[in-house]
Amino acid sequence: MQYVTRYHRKSLRVLGSVGEPINPSAWRLPDLLQPVIVDENGNEIEGECSGYLCIKKSWPGAFRTLYGDHERYETTYFKPFAGYYFTGDGCSRLLSSEHQLIQRIPLQIGAFAAPDKIHWAPGLPKTRSGKIMRRILRKIASGQLDELGDTSTLADPNVVDQLIALSDC
């Protein structure tokens, strides 16, 4: 954050990338954007629930007015739930979404894409340029662990061991 705040940014209009993926670790600033779900009284709610999507803190890219009408901006986004930025969206948090995903995929994508099982992974085997090595995923899923091939080009080779430990192989 110190690199951003120590410079004058008034003339900054565009941020670009020079061929490298802008992945979450590159753009996400820890603890900067804190989404929460609140009830109709503005109380944060946890667990499986439905409510209103709000942001706990402001963030650098947040707009500061609405069509030149600052009062309208505050009324629309900050007054519905005091202390929060209200996105205007409803939100649901599901603790057990695997079953719903398995049922929904054939309806949204097609029966050919329906998984038998979903594995939650700590990461994916990606090259240093950000490409997912699907070959490695297929080999792990089919139990062909002795045929994984060269994993030295991965950004984090340890993720392969983590995926193998989580698999049914």
- Give the side-chain half-sphere CA count within 13 A for 14: 3
Q: 66 is written with which tokens?
A: 């609405």
Per-residue confidence (pLDDT) for residue 18, from 0 to 100: 58
Q: What are the phi and psi torsion angles at 87 (to 5°)? A: -75, -20
pLDDT per residue, tens digit, the chain (169 aa), is 566 677 776 666 656 655 555 565 655 555 667 889 999 999 999 988 899 999 987 776 777 788 889 899 889 988 999 989 998 999 888 766 777 778 888 888 888 888 887 777 889 999 988 899 999 999 998 999 999 988 888 999 999 999 998 876 5
User: Residues near 23 by Cβ (< 8 Å), separated by ≥ 6?
Assistant: 130
Per-residue confidence (pLDDT) for residue 62, from 0 to 100: 75
Q: 38 is written with which tokens?
A: 């609140």
Per-residue confidence (pLDDT) for residue 26, from 0 to 100: 58
Per-residue confidence (pLDDT) for residue 95, from 0 to 100: 67
Give domain limits for the chain.
2-93, 115-166
- pTM for the complete prediction? 0.46
Per-residue confidence (pLDDT) for residue 39, from 0 to 100: 96
Domain 2-93 listed as CATH 2.30.38: yes
Per-residue confidence (pLDDT) for residue 22, from 0 to 100: 57
Amino acid in the structure at residue 138: R
